[in-house]
Amino acid sequence: MAEDAEGNANFSVPDEAVAALRKFDGPIAIVAVVGLYRTGKSYLVNRIVGHQHGFKVGPTINACTKGIWMWSEPIPFENSRGEKLQLLVLDTEGIGGTDASSDYDTRIFSLAVLLCSTLVYNSLGTISEEAIGNLSFVANLSQHVRVKAAQGNAKDNDEDSSKGSTTDALSSFFPSLLWVIRDFSLVLEDEDYNEITELDYLNNSLKLREGFSSDVQAKNRIRQSLTSFFTKRDCVTIVRPLVDETKLQQIDDEPYESLRPEFRTRMEKFRADLLDQLTAKTLQGKPMSGSMFSTLARTFVEAMNSDGVPTITTAWDHVAKTETKEAMSRAMEAYQKQLAVVIENDRTGLPMDANELSEQHKRIKKDVKTNFLKSAVGEGAIETYMPKLKQKMQEYYDDACSENDRVSLELCSVLFVKLLDEHITSCLPNAPGVNDVDMLVDVAAVRMKLDRMRDTYMTESRGPLRDFVWQSKLTDASFVAYSAVLAWEQEKKDEEIRAVEQRARNAEAKLSTVAATEEILREELEMSRKEGGSQGAESQMLMIKLSGQEQEVEVKKKQLADMESKLKAAKDKEEEMKKEYEIEMEKIKLELKEERDKEQPVMAPAQGGCGCVLQ
């Protein structure tokens, strides 16, 4: 995974490794195997991962493994505490390879130290003075790794505690050390022939030696560094797997079952004990996943490539920030998905009651925040990203509310128009084709229909703008309806008056005809009187006729007087109705004005304000 790009100057973590690490989705435990080159490290790694032909095992004296390699499949296992973990194994380039500088060796070693939870140091034979001497670079580890970023103008190489590069500061971040001695054939006993453990053997070997020679001093410095950096340590000895030298060179071609039983027993115990004591690699209290590990590896590698000194806490902060930012994105996605389920529901989705939408938002937000905190890492990163997550959720919710308003307005408006047409418009006296049964003939009928329409509207309308739509549209609609009914009533009265007037005109015409006849008769009578005696009988007849005519005139006059009084009554009634009409219209206008005033503010209609304006 970390490889030497050109010469030994730069490392990189290839995308392939990052992709493979994504498969490590649970808590991971990391074992890195380090040690001198050509000491059987890759073979040991193959035994840990359980594959005969896993990593390349080289038969020649030339260094085989380059950079740091990882086993790309997670190996699930359970440690002695019952924790279910995924094992990630790293095989590293051997230290002391002829074509690599000691600085390069230290970088490989430092990277392995920084990345793993247990460091397996593999060596051949015994923990001799020579073996200790081979670890000389450990004494310089503090120059290659820092706990905290340098402060102010302090010089890089100072062993200054303010820079967090002291042995103590580093050791708290370092992994446990398991020293594996291969081809071990000695009896484990002290100078007094008492049996000792492998750990005793390691600790005895790491005790400071007496003497003042530069060689003793140098090796004591290595011993001191090893014991200070790796406070948790253990040792395992494993015998030679094969006696035959030729076969040993090609050990990966030898079936495992054909190896020495003592070797297999020790190897299996080593693996079981290793997994038992392994714990999850954590970062700021959170178990690390494969993706966090890849960010951590890239951060260390980039630091090494730029200034050569990776800083543990800076790298951790970076990983925490990256991980928490990703957790925020995932949380936001979860929020959007869950809210979509609520608002896109055919039956109960938008438009929906504003309070219900708010309740759902609160429920989902709580759930999402809990999950975010489970995967977010580091207090600083949480302080940065939690407010951002809250803000993003609020913005999304606000958009959902606006959409709720929009669809509510649309649905309620369409519903209002439909109900208005069904209940009112199509039943008005001026509606085309309206029948006498359905026709709204007076204000009371309109009022009753509006009440019914309101009941249906309140049952079928949805969303926050239902009251607003009702109130804002009702005023105009009812004004039109009442005006139409009142105008129709008025028209009916006018027709009645016109009919009475016509009848009066007819009576007048008849009266004038009667009056003319009377005049003729009167003239005839006068003439008869003047003509004298013989015509007395005729004049008598005319007298009778005339008196009949007079009676008829009287009757007609009486009838006309009746009509006039009726006409007057009709006109009085009309006046009265006009007054009533004006009063009614004034009332309507006043109530409409009150309704409009009630509608303020426009987007927050008063609760329950859905009454008919004329009530």
Q: Give the binding site for ligand GTP (CB under 6 A).
A: 37-43, 57-59, 63-65, 94, 182-183, 240-241, 248-249, 251
63 binds, among Mg ion, ligand GTP, none (CB under 5 to 8 A by kind): ligand GTP
Please give the backbone phi and psi of residue 29, each rounded to the nearest 5 degrees, phi first.
Answer: -120, 135
Closest CA to 107 of 291, 313, 303: 303
CB neighbours (10 Å) of residue 138?
23
- The interface with Mg ion within residues 60-89 (CB under 5 A) comprises 64-65
CB neighbours (10 Å) of residue 552?
16
Strand 84-92 relative to strand 28-35, pairing:
parallel
605 binds, among ligand GTP, Mg ion, none (CB under 5 to 8 A by kind): none
205 binds, among Mg ion, ligand GTP, none (CB under 5 to 8 A by kind): none
Min. distance of Cβ 268 from ligand GTP in angstroms? Answer: 14
Min. distance of Cβ 59 from ligand GTP in angstroms? Answer: 4
In angstroms, the CA 425 to CA 431 distance is 7
Which structure tokens are listed for 511? 């009266």
Check residue 42 for interaction with Mg ion (CB under 5 A): yes
- Of 43 and 137, the one with the shorter C-beta distance to Mg ion is 43
β partners of residue 88: 30
Min. distance of Cβ 361 from Mg ion in angstroms? Answer: 56
Q: Which residue is at the shortest CB distance from ligand GTP?
A: 94
- Of 123 and 295, the one with the shorter C-beta distance to ligand GTP is 123
- Of 60 and 214, the one with the shorter C-beta distance to ligand GTP is 60
Write the single-letter amino acid at 202: L
Give burial (CB, 10 Å; 0-12/13-18/19+) of 125.
middle
241 binds, among ligand GTP, Mg ion, none (CB under 5 to 8 A by kind): ligand GTP
Check residue 46 for interaction with Mg ion (CB under 5 A): no
In angstroms, the CA 459 to CA 482 distance is 25
- Of 45 and 343, the one with the shorter C-beta distance to ligand GTP is 45
Chain centroid, CA 108 distance in Å: 42
Of 38-46, 126-134, 289-297, 497-505, the window that binds Mg ion (rule: CB under 5 A) is 38-46
Residues written for the chain? 615
Peptide bond into 255 cis (omega under 30): no
- Of 108 and 147, the one with the shorter C-beta distance to Mg ion is 108
Check residue 39 for interaction with Mg ion (CB under 5 A): no
Min. distance of Cβ 240 from ligand GTP in angstroms? Answer: 5
- Of 39 and 220, the one with the shorter C-beta distance to ligand GTP is 39
In angstroms, the CA 332 to CA 404 distance is 20
Min. distance of Cβ 69 from Mg ion in angstroms? Answer: 8
Write the single-letter amino acid at 69: W
Give burial (CB, 10 Å; 0-12/13-18/19+) of 73.
middle
- Of 61 and 509, the one with the shorter C-beta distance to Mg ion is 61
Rg (CA), the chain: 54
37 binds, among ligand GTP, Mg ion, none (CB under 5 to 8 A by kind): ligand GTP
248 binds, among Mg ion, ligand GTP, none (CB under 5 to 8 A by kind): ligand GTP
Min. distance of Cβ 251 from ligand GTP in angstroms? Answer: 4
Please give the backbone phi and psi of residue 600, each rounded to the nearest 5 degrees, phi first.
Answer: -80, 140
In angstroms, the CA 380 to CA 539 distance is 136
- Of 183 and 273, the one with the shorter C-beta distance to ligand GTP is 183
Query: Interface with Mg ion by CB under 5 A: which residues?
Result: 41-42, 64-65
